[in-house]
Structure 1
Amino acid sequence: MSTSSAQSSFPLGPFRPYERNPILRPRGNSWESANLYNPAAIVVDDQVLLLYRAHAEDVVSHIGLARSDDGHTFVREESPIMSPEHDYESKGCEDPRVTRIGGTYYLTYTGYDGHTAQLCLAISTDLHNWTKFGPILPAGYDTFAPLSGEQGRTWSKAGVIAPEPIDGRYYLYFGEGAIFYATSTDLITWSPCPNDAPIHRPTPGTWDEGLVEIGAPPVTTDDGLMIFLSNGACRGDGGGVDYRCGQFAIARSEPDAVIASMTKPWLRPQTYEERHGLVSNVTFVEGLVWFRDRWLAYYGQSDTTLAVAEYVPGRDSYRA
């Protein structure tokens, strides 16, 4: 089922963390022995599939695949489905997001070479054999530039592709620091908005005052809104980072402008796993699916384990 045909309204939720989290942990002495987190999610043949980031002690990330019949208990494939091959991703293929359009899966991920992070694209028809197109934004595009005031660096992360075209163009929403958009007619070549004109920025004095970042691909509502799960960060106690999850909405009739955003996070670090890890005090969402009778949001816990939160329409509602 397409998420656009499921029950949805803004804000989406409330979500409850699954009582048996984490649902996936690092294991053995393999490529995923040290840390496992930040998954893309999609439903295929009545199973939830997670495309997750993991690495060993070398901190070079690969992308793995896990399947579940119930959305909670996952069986992992032994080998990663994507690994670094090129100079621009030599230190990791990181933080995937996935959208299926027709019979093709469009995977955005971060290619990291140890110094520069760049938003990259790969496509597949079977989730195992991938054609990589490399970085899709121009050199010198820096999603932190509107916040720092500095220019000249290349840095981009976090991209989600809306599954349905608007007026003949597909939209990609992306960014770490601030959030931007790009358009395409072929889903391969993308034209970004000006680097000095983000559509969403951090809010001073709040839980996302440090940065905002795209989370999961959008859900389309009956009234024409696209709902995005997102991530925000601020400095926590003692100067450490604190990542929480929010939401914002864009109207399909005006796809280059945010018209609403949550003023409070719907998920924040609370459990031991969310307060302790490779990067402590992090809940970081990248996957969202409608599965059977509920929404399932998948997120990383302190860059070390993987968890899920659920929202069952009709069970709970946000208070006005």
Structure 2
Amino acid sequence: MTGTSFFTGATFPLGPFTPYEHNPVLKPLGGSWESSNLYNPAALVDGDEVVLLYRAHAEDIVSHIGLARSRDGYHFERESEPILSPTEDYERYGCEDPRITAIDGTYYLTYTGWDRHNARLCLATSTDLHHWEKHGPLFKGFDTFAATNTPHGGDWSKAGVILPYQLKDKWWMYFGEGSIYWATSDDLIHWTPGIPDTDPLYRSTPGSFDADLVEIGAPPVLTENGLLVFVMNGATRTIRADGEVDVDYRCGQFAIDPDEPDRVIARMNTPWLKPQTFEDLNGLVPNVTFVEGLVLFKGKWFAYYGQSDTTLAVAVHDPKQTWGGKLMQAAASL
């Protein structure tokens, strides 16, 4: 089994990615636990298959995590029952938005536990993807919106990606919705934030596609020049006259030097994926392309993403393709 690894042939920024012409690759399945919405997948390669761990729910909007496999990266067979479901009070209304990393025979799954008051980043581990030990919320009292204009006031954290190798003799996690932070661990189970919630590693960029919110996407890629490249989701918000909020979620990238893992050194200043198809623009939460899974499979990069919190899609990058003249507009040093 492999999660993110020491890939070769990758550069920053990674891409370009082209949405699959027959998206979505997975849709809700009527008469089941995933009958209403299916989206936001983690991804990994297991032998000669892509495995997706995806979020789905019925009309009750209580999310579970399901599993599907594919031999070509496009056509998936799903298991009939979820592999992770709410069992604890802190997640009683949903196990949401998984990310996954494989290290030394163990899968480390981060997900959001939702109780309709607080969103808490949680951790579960498994050796077979079906039997999970839950380790509970990771960052009590931490608010990843503390440095934004809309702080939650504690106990709000999402989106954790664990590096599959150590930096400076520690395990590292990057996490956060609203802003992005880092944490370290000695055992991959107990995690300590390296910075206060008022001083994030990376925050929104005024006037950009991520002007109001940034959130970690998939586990990082190690490029040929040693940079760690992170896929991230950025959003803008518009308040309508009736008080409702319209969102626009797009996907970007940023890079970190492993010798300075607490500092972002470059970012994309334009998104590599944005809402454009009917499914991207219409659904439970319209105008959303939200990536959480990224794998190198059979020589190509597959980025799996949710469409408007309703269906699941893929965009593909063939390393033979290049950014061309768009490269200088796509990346900017900090």
| TM interval, short-chain normalised | over 0.9
The 5 A counterparts of 1:84-103 are 84-103=86-105
Q: Which residue of 2 aligns with 1:209?
A: 211
Q: Which residue of 2 aligns with 1:27?
A: 29
Deviation track 1:184-221 (CA, whole Å, cap 9, x = no partner) reads 01000001021122010001111111100000000011
The 5 A counterparts of 1:8-23 are 8-23=10-25
Mapped partners of 2:239, 2:270: distance in 1: 18
Q: Which residue of 2 aligns with 1:241?
A: 247
Secondary structure of the residue that 1:145 maps to in structure 2?
coil
C-alpha spacing 1:83/1:150, structure 2 compared with 1 (3 Å): closer
Mapped partners of 1:145, 1:205: distance in 2: 20
Secondary structure of the residue that 2:234 maps to in structure 1?
strand
- The residue type equivalent to 2:52 in the other structure is L
Mapped partners of 2:121, 2:148: distance in 1: 19
Mapped partners of 2:239, 2:145: distance in 1: 23
Mapped partners of 2:89, 2:304: distance in 1: 30
- The residue type equivalent to 2:309 in the other structure is D
Q: Which residue of 1 aligns with 2:220?
A: 218
How far does residue 153 in structure 1 lie from its aligned partner after superposition?
2.5
| Contact map agreement 1:13 1:317 (CA 8 A) in 2 | yes
| Contact map agreement 1:97 1:287 (CA 8 A) in 2 | yes
Deviation track 1:272-306 (CA, whole Å, cap 9, x = no partner) reads 00000000000000000000110000000000000
Q: Which residue of 2 aligns with 1:178?
A: 179
- Aligned match of 1:134 in 133, 136, 144? 136
Query: Unaligned 5+ residue runs, structure 2?
Result: 329-334
How far does residue 5 in structure 1 lie from its aligned partner after superposition?
2.4
Moved more, 206-215 or 236-245: 236-245
| Contact map agreement 2:145 2:152 (CA 8 A) in 1 | no
- The residue type equivalent to 1:32 in the other structure is E
- Aligned match of 1:301 in 286, 292, 307? 307
C-alpha spacing 1:57/1:150, structure 2 compared with 1 (3 Å): closer
| Contact map agreement 1:42 1:50 (CA 8 A) in 2 | yes
Q: Which residue of 1 aligns with 2:233?
A: 231
Q: Which residue of 2 aligns with 1:263?
A: 269
Secondary structure of the residue that 1:269 maps to in structure 2?
coil
Query: Unaligned 5+ residue runs, structure 1?
Result: none
* Percent identity over paired residues: 61
Mapped partners of 1:112, 1:255: distance in 2: 30
Secondary structure of the residue that 1:20 maps to in structure 2?
coil
RMSD: 1.3
Q: Which residue of 1 aligns with 2:154?
A: 153
- Aligned match of 1:62 in 49, 61, 64? 64
- The residue type equivalent to 2:219 in the other structure is P
- The residue type equivalent to 1:316 in the other structure is T
TM-score of the two chains, using structure 2 as the length reference:
0.93
Secondary structure of the residue that 1:274 maps to in structure 2?
helix
Mapped partners of 1:113, 1:298: distance in 2: 26
Mapped partners of 2:230, 2:215: distance in 1: 10
Moved more, 186-195 or 310-319: 310-319
TM-score of the two chains, using structure 1 as the length reference:
0.97
How far does residue 159 in structure 1 lie from its aligned partner after superposition?
0.5
| Contact map agreement 1:6 1:290 (CA 8 A) in 2 | no
How far does residue 149 in structure 1 lie from its aligned partner after superposition?
7.2
Mapped partners of 1:150, 1:16: distance in 2: 35
Q: Which residue of 1 aligns with 2:163?
A: 162
| Contact map agreement 1:224 1:253 (CA 8 A) in 2 | no
Count the aligned residue pairs.
319
Mapped partners of 1:256, 1:63: distance in 2: 31
Mapped partners of 1:16, 1:149: distance in 2: 34
| Contact map agreement 1:13 1:318 (CA 8 A) in 2 | no
How far does residue 151 in structure 1 lie from its aligned partner after superposition?
7.0
Mapped partners of 2:225, 2:38: distance in 1: 37
Secondary structure of the residue that 2:120 maps to in structure 1?
strand
Moved more, 4-13 or 40-49: 4-13
Mapped partners of 1:67, 1:281: distance in 2: 27
Mapped partners of 2:250, 2:150: distance in 1: 25
Mapped partners of 1:166, 1:291: distance in 2: 26
Secondary structure of the residue that 1:6 maps to in structure 2?
coil
Deviation track 1:199-256 (CA, whole Å, cap 9, x = no partner) reads 1000111111110000000001122210000000002595511000000001100001
Mapped partners of 1:261, 1:279: distance in 2: 26
Moved more, 200-209 or 150-159: 150-159
After TM superposition, where is structure 1 displaced by more than 2 Å over at least 4 residues in a row? 148-153, 235-239, 315-320
Mapped partners of 1:290, 1:70: distance in 2: 12
How far does residue 45 in structure 1 lie from its aligned partner after superposition?
1.2
